[in-house]
Structure 1
């Protein structure tokens, strides 16, 4: 794949993560190979750190730091020897941004997870946002903002093999154990749960076995994986995140929600884009059909993570989570 093809393939994902589309085009236009991706995006992130240092207000500094976090994270989407350092830089920039912008935000970490709890202490409900195969808490800041705007508290997390933890941990299929520890650490009785991409599998699996999930939603989540048919690039990413090809193959064997979907008692919204076609990946329609309280939202022009169709699903998802989570709290 040429660097131009790679940049085009990541376009809506990067924009959906909050990267300025015009700057994205300027940065990627100067790349000569995919190997240049990581270093160029990291340089852009550092440029925003410098802007933060020279900002005329704490608000401007915080906004620059949020932008830096996004660029550092997107740097990790291509194979890059320093991906661990870029993920750590994204995590640090987000930490500095929230310290500046939201003094009430709280870092919460435990075995196999870390993240930020944001929102009012007296919120009517708390939502946990779960990233996917090569995503991280820094990628879904706009989703978090949509949930915060509805009065909810939100914990955006990195789990095993994800974000800042990818350098020291590996993907695990029993993610419900991690979410269980998150709920314990947050000290809440019930949560809403949103999972994106592979995080959709983690969220659906957790909703099937964790009774404290009051409502759930998946976005571009797989119902089933067929390792032999998954594209080599996806297998390579999974191998890096799982700890090797054999571990990745074994992990993929677990990604099948056929038996778990009927056990999901909570209201479940499944969001897919019709243009999200990945060989070896069965999308979410069977999950919505088999879940007792499943709703399927299919966006005809949506791609993976639907960064090209935000108005078609994000408000609906925010309202879905808020309605059922606050009803459960009441």
Structure 2
């Protein structure tokens, strides 16, 4: 029994030593890390990934970090690519709220969001704004609700495509006001905003990264922000929150998180998480995120376990809303 105990202690000590060495050696000199972005280049998520890659490289010993844009099917193609990758820390995923909405949007996915990834931490939150066309009669949220009540059969709500951030925000808005509006899907946020400014559609709920300039330039009417607190951005600080105008519990932010394939060694997960925490405090990264209208994560969600709990809660939040709307993307 004593010998067996000794062998067990030695085995455990050897395993710990191996894990420690593994973390110290990661990333290996000359071997790049790839961050898969499941969207096309040039979009908000791609920009976040490229800024994050620069900030992550420093605490990872100057590692080379490559961005791989594998877009399509509402981010599920790129996400599946990472789920299938070797769990060695060299292939990561940066994805947004789509990680929480894909389980509700797709009848069948080639991966399980909650089981097939090692969670590394939340990166940021991007607020959203509810805006209207320039000639909409309503000038504030109270007037807007009255206008909707009187004209709900003819009012339309634009979005950037099924499963997009604006689509999800729109679904939650309709659920909150218990009114179904006519949806007008576009192939991206840019054409949706262009038509809104041209008075071709009535309403849109989209990210500050896409709406701040139009709001500041008074090219659209702004009614509320979707955060729990008012924003500090000069052109948006006077906008009330949805909760302030009476929509209890309405809070939507388009968060981004970092992931590795399931089975990534705990020592490497810790190494990546430690590096992420340093990157999130990098002054250049913070400045770049503020320019996008994003808020860099600084709460407990930067911890892997809390990140996973948060995504599970977001899945529970969005799935019934998506299913109630009867929206599916096969």
User: TM-score of the superposition, structure 1-length normalised?
Assistant: 0.28
* Greater percentage in helix: 1
Bigger radius of gyration among the two: 2
